[in-house]
Amino acid sequence: MGYRQFLPTHCNRNEYIFKDALEYGKKGYVDITTSGWPYYQDEEIKPSTALKLLLEAGVPLAHITFTSDACGSLPGFDPETGKLIKLEMGLPSSNLREVKDAVQVDGVSLEQALQVVTSNPADILKLPGKGYIREGYDADILILDQGFGIVHLMAMGKMMIR
């Protein structure tokens, strides 16, 4: 039996946290936060690469999620004074960017890459009606072109982007 009550996030924040995630993820869930890239390239493991490395380490795909910290603050502090020197914002588009890179750069299958942003979060967070295209579900559907550009978006059965 694995760990099911604790979902650590930002597991790609730095090398030592990610090293722990490679082991923890075999029994529990791990979340890779996508919005810090490219702001913190000197510190973070690129999310698409983190997905590949987790899978190579034997972490079950069903234990891995991508989240974006959408519109959350990404502060930068002066290491000597501790003063705030920059403030970026996490973008929701970072999830799609990292899914694309997982497939096109890191060689993860499209099915695996999509699962970390669709069914895995829905299952882990116990979100009814989400994560799958099934009868009775919410009809949240994203149609992409071959370059991962958004063609259509349906949310709760209503066409949002056509």
User: Which residues form the catalytic set?
Assistant: 69
User: What one-character DSSP code corresponds to residue 5?
Assistant: S
Six-digit token pair at 65?
Answer: 């999620």
Six-digit token pair at 61?
Answer: 């795909």
Residue 34 has, within 13 A of its CA and on its CB side, a CA count of 25
- Chain centroid offset of residue 120 CA: 10
Amino acid at 108: V
What residue has token string 């983190």?
50
The candidate with the shortest Cα–Cα distance to 115, out of 57, 64, 153, 154, is: 64
